[in-house]
A and B are shown apart, each in its own frame.
Chain A
Amino acid sequence: MSMNTTTNKNYTNFFQVKTKHKGLLAWLLTTDHKRIGIMYLVSILSFFLVGLTFAFMMRLEMLTPGPTIVDAQTYNSFFTLHGMIMVFLFIIPGIPAVFGNFFLPLQIGADDVAFPRINLLSYYLYLAGAFLALYSLIFQTHIDTGWTFYVPYSLRTGTDVTLPLIAAFILGFSSIVTGLNFITTMHRMRIKGMTMFQMPLFSWSLYSTAWIQVLATPIIGITIVLVLLERSFGFGIFDPTLGGDPVLYQHLFWIYSHPAVYIMAIPAFGVISDVVATFSRKSIFGYKVMAYSTMSIAFIGYLVWAHHMFTSGMSDTARTVFSFLTFFVAIPTGVKVFNWVATLWRGTIVMSSPMLMALSAIFLFSIGGLTGLHLGSISTDVHLHDTYFVIAHFHYVIIGGILSMFIAAMHFWFPKMFGKMHNEKVAKVGVVMYFIGANVLYFPMFIMGYMGMPRRYFDYLPEFQIYHVVSTVGSWILITAILLMFTNLLIAIFKGKPAGSNPWGAKTLEWTMPSPPPLLNFIDTPVPSKDPYDYSDHDERIFRDLKNKENIINQENS
């Protein structure tokens, strides 16, 4: 067993460490990847709560037909703000910015990312973009274009579109810089003796995500510039009255925004892989296939953007080609799901809160993925496009697969980040409520969508009301679950028991140092094993005995 059974008391962790700056400045001017990760965590969660509030109010508005709490114009702003905040401020930076920053160097045995100062720059770009977006969303006339900014509507609306677009442009740079930093870090900073194919799969997921960030994000940047030029100076690129083509905008938008879905999803897959391997006490089934499938999802993800446009007026040939290509994304994604399930086989399953969340995520994400098949097939998509079916599909992926893995990552790595252990019972209650809430909230939307309820509707026909009511009740369950889990973690920061260096019995390198980690991460140079999840000599009974002893020592010390 490589586990440290005693906590090394003779070190200063990265929270305590003294730098030339004091107080808040020691955080704001830090180049420590761990502090930057924590700053991202705080910012991203704050924006998430804002987006969640808009989601809550949208569902409340949908409770009854006609105006329930707001008018149509305000509702249109709600779904625009919800979409923009959740997509650009939460789910795209999400896992890479928080857990990537904190854990990528730890997982590959590095003392920081390759460009620590650029890392801080990318945080400030994020913050600048976020504040600009929030300022314009809240203090200007509320934007009402939907998060997709489709032209010509976004060229004509009287609401303020310019600032949110500039904000999205700046946020794009934050994303590109982070991606570049991660790619370099993985190529140049891996500890001696660790090859690319010995990295944990979470690191692999960050690697392929980083390539998408670097290669796809510039396209949205250029598109935004074109829209701004058109809005301000009347360039005729997209506006048909000036001889432009609105469908061209959709192409450019989705060339970025479809790969962006994989920027959101692939890191979540990485977390599932690490969590499932750890709590099955087993190497991941088909490690290399998992790494390759991560890369191929990233690659094929580039070739399928126009499946968002089957009804937009593309040629029939284009529809056919994009439908055909779209189905190929299903293959590597399916392989991942099968491999996770196969990893459980003959393992030693420990049902911790992150593991429970990962299993729930595999189920919910599978629903999201499988309903993607309905939307990839042309004739069914033409019926389902722009209905609640799409909302349900997308949210099963995002809430079921990605947000849930963000929360699972919070629980999995919490002991390492803060050196404290949260209450596992409360966390598991939260996971179960989350699972129920997500299904009650989103499943009725599949039915509504198939019956023909279009999305972005302030009001609806009476036959849809029952589904909307169920869905709104689901939103209350889901929000309660999220707040319960967050509160549980917040309490643990102050009142949690000391966690020790490796409370979960995980094998990747971030668990070889004391918690919270020291400033330059590793006290002793770690020795990477050939298999990142090497449980070849594991016995759960011995591990539990050791852990109990460690807990007793920790309690005596504290």
Chain B
Amino acid sequence: MKIAIPVENKTLDSSVNPSFGRAPYFLIYDVNTKESTFIENTAATSTGGAGIKAAQIIVDNKVNAVLSLQLGENAAAVLKDANIKIYKTTDVSIKGNIEAFINERLSFLDEIHAGFHGRRR
């Protein structure tokens, strides 16, 4: 079981990044082996469609669940097509959220925002 979290820096003591597509790094954490890997989010500097590309990176890393504060509709569409579950982070602590996830205290992220493409909805 692998989970991904958008993070500020490449350490478990860093914090959860409030953005998904524009987060500088992703933590890929294996719940079974407790192994953590930090990968660079190469989508962060995209001029557009960062959420789609970031979600593609997550899909390619064969992750089972994403823990994020928020998510845009395009990123959500990619993750859903890949059957990746999306949970909502509760605070900025990476370790705290991992623990909450393991103890099944995180709820599904059900508010998907319309993206920040200058569109009014």
A binds B: no
Interface of A toward B, CB cutoff 8 Å: none
